[in-house]
Amino acid sequence: MVCTANDLLEWKDFPKGLRILLLDEDTNSAAEIKSKLEEMEFIVIAFSSEHEALAAISGKTESFHVAIVEVSIHNRDGRCNFLEAAKDLPTIMISNEQCLNTMMKCIALGAVEFLIKPLSEEKLRNIWQHVVHKAFNTSESTKSESLKSVKEFVGSVLEIQQQSIATQTQVSEELIIDTEMDQNDHSQSAAGDKFPAPSTPQIKQGGRSVDDGDSQDHMANNSPVKEGAEFDGDNKSVDNTNNGNSFATMEVDPPQPTSVVSIKEEDRSDGSRESDNSVPKSHENEDTTYVGPDSGNLNKDSKNTRGTKGSRKKIKVDWTPDLHKKFVQAVEQLGVDQAIPSRILELMKVDGLTRHNIASHLQKYRMHRRHILPKQEERRWPHPRDSIQRNYYAHRPVMAYPPYHTNHNFASGQVYPIWGQQGCQPPSFPMWGPPSYPWQPADQNWPWKPYPAMHADAWGCPVYQTPQCPPSAFPQQAQGAYGFHSNPHESYGKNSSDINPKDEVIDKVVKEAISKPWLPLPIGLKPPSTDSVLAELSRQGISIIPPHINGHHPC
C-alpha cells in the first residue's frame, strides 16, 4: 500500500498508522515487540525470516515506513544484506547483545538506530522520528512514497504551527516542540521520552516545509540555538549532538549525513519582529545561532502569517571553517567550472542552507580565487631575476600578502585563520581532509576570519605563536598562513612546515637580517628598530650581536 500525498488525512493521528516491518527470528521476542507496537497503534508486519522480509521490501520499500530488525553476531552478515536492500527504509536494529562491533557495522551500513532488548515502550514510541528524519533527508528522487507522505504531513503540521504559534494547540502537538523555552521535556507522547538511547532523534521543531525560494528541502538545525528556533536539520553527526536541549535535532542518517548550519538571526529593523519576547536580542553572534535556514520557525518571528515564504526571518549562515570546508569540497568535487549553487547545495547536504546562501558564498569564493590566486602564483614562481633577489625571497620574511589582506592587520597583531590543511594548525583546528582528497588545494584557504594562529612579530612578519613547523621559505609561509596556497602539491606533505616557522627559522631570519642589513626589507615592512631587534634576539636567546649591526657594511 503506497501512501500518497493525498493521504494526509491518514496521518491525523500520527504517528499511529506507521507501517513497521519487523524481522526477528525469535518468535517470542517478535510477538512481544509486535504487541507493544500495536498497542501504540502502529501497523506491524512481522517476518520470521530474513528471506521473507527481503522479499517484502524488494522493490517496494514504500510498503513500510520503518523496519525493526533483530541482529546478533550469528546473523550479522545477513542483516547487512538487509540493510543494503533497505537503504531507503529507516531501519532500526535491535539485539540482545551489546556488541559494539555489530552496532557499528549496522550503523555504518545505514541503520538509523541500534536498540538493545528489551525494548521498552519508550524506545519504541519514538521510532517515528526516524521516519520523519528520513523523509526530510532523503533526496526527492529516491524517496519512497511512504516517506513522501510522511514528509508532506509533517510539513503541513509544521506550517500550521507556524501560523498559529501563539496557540500551540493544534494538531499533532506531538511534533511540536516549542522553541524558546525549555523544551526537551515535553511529555507529549511523541517526543516524550527523554532522549532514549543513543540516537533517538528528537525532533524539535520543525519548521520549514517549504523552501524558501529555492531551497531544498532540508531543514536545518542548529546546535546552539538561541532564541529562535528553527528547525532541524540533520545531523552532523557527532557534532551537533545536542547539548542537553537540542532543539531541533534530528537524527542522523548514517549513509549520508548531512550537516546543519548554524545561523544567526539578525535583527530586523522593520517591525516585523514582533513579539518575541524573547530574549533580549543579543543578536550578535554569540548565541544566536540558529539553524535552519528556512523560515521556519515557530517561535520567534514566525508568527506572521505568511505562509511559506512570507516573512521569513532573516537568518545568516555562519560559514564556519567546517561548513566552508564542505563547500570547498563540493566545489572541488564538481570542478570549479561546474560548481554552481544548486549542485553545490546538493553535494553539501547541509540542511538549512539555501541556494542563495551558496550563491552568495560562491560569489565571494570566486572573487577570492580570482583576485588572489593569480598573485599568489606570481609569488610562488617569481621570475628569476638575480640571484640576490632570489636569495632574498627565499630567506626573508617577505610580506607576500595578497591585496585582499591588508598588512596593517598584522601590524596590529591581529591574528588570522588558516583556511586549509596545509598549514600547521592549532590542535583545535582540524585538518580538512587527508592529503588524498582531490579538493584540498588552494581553495580551502581564505582567511576571512581571524584566527588565533599567528601574529605579527617585531619584524612585521607573521610568526606563529606556537611554532611547530620546520623551516621553509617564507613567502610560502606567509601565503600559507593566509590560506592562499594554490599549489596542491605543495600543500600537503609539507604541510605544517610551510606555515609555521620554527624558532630556528625565526632565528635564522633574525640573524640574517642583522648580518645583512643592506638587503631590502620586504614590501610593507618597516625596518625594525634596533631596540626591537635586540629585544627579539634577547627573547630568543641570542646574545651575541655582530658589531656591524648598526649599519656598517660588513665588507
Least distance to DNA, CB of residue 335, Å: 11
Interface pattern 146-185 for DNA (x via CB under 7 A):
----------------------------------------
Identify the residue among 362, 418, 499, 521 touching DNA (CB under 7 A): 362
371 part of the interface to DNA, by CB under 7 A: no
Which DSSP string do the residues of 477-538 spell out, in sequence order? HHHHHHT----HHHHTTSHHHHH---HHHHHHHHHHHHH-TTSPPPTT--PPPHHHHHHHHH
Identify the residue among 448, 459, 474, 492 touching DNA (CB under 7 A): 448
**Minimal CA–CA distance to 256: which of 165, 363, 341, 346?**
346
Identify the residue among 30, 124, 131, 317 touching DNA (CB under 7 A): 317
3-state secondary structure of 109: coil
Identify the residue among 355, 368, 379, 485 touching DNA (CB under 7 A): 355
Q: Which is closer to DNA, CB of 341 or CB of 517?
A: 341
Contact between residue 397 and residue 509 where contact means Cβ atoms under 8 Å apart = yes
Least distance to DNA, CB of residue 202, Å: 26
Q: Which is closer to DNA, CB of 314 or CB of 548?
A: 314
214 part of the interface to DNA, by CB under 7 A: yes
Identify the residue among 42, 319, 464, 474 touching DNA (CB under 7 A): 319
Contact between residue 130 and residue 92 where contact means Cβ atoms under 8 Å apart = yes
316 part of the interface to DNA, by CB under 7 A: yes
Which DSSP string do the residues of 164-180 spell out, in sequence order? T-SSTTSS-GGG----S
Identify the residue among 34, 130, 143, 361 touching DNA (CB under 7 A): 361
Strand arrangement, sheet containing 19-23: 43-47, 19-23, 66-70, 91-95, 113-116
Beta strands in 107-197 (DSSP E): 113-116
> Which of these ranges, 8-16, 34-42, 245-253, 308-316, lies near DNA under the rule CB under 7 A?
308-316
Q: 147 burial class (0-12, 13-18, 19+ CB within 10 angstroms)?
A: buried
454 part of the interface to DNA, by CB under 7 A: no
412 part of the interface to DNA, by CB under 7 A: no
Contact between residue 525 and residue 461 where contact means Cβ atoms under 8 Å apart = yes
Pairing of strands 462-464, 454-456: antiparallel
Q: Which is closer to DNA, CB of 293 or CB of 467?
A: 293
243 part of the interface to DNA, by CB under 7 A: no
Identify the residue among 16, 87, 117, 268 touching DNA (CB under 7 A): 268
User: Rounded to whole angstroms, how far apart are CA atoms 43 and 525?
Assistant: 74
Q: Within 10 A of 216 (CB to CB), how many other CB atoms are there?
A: 19
Applying CB under 7 A, the residues found at the interface with DNA are 213-214, 266-269, 312, 314, 316-319, 339-343, 355-357, 359-364, 366-367, 448-449
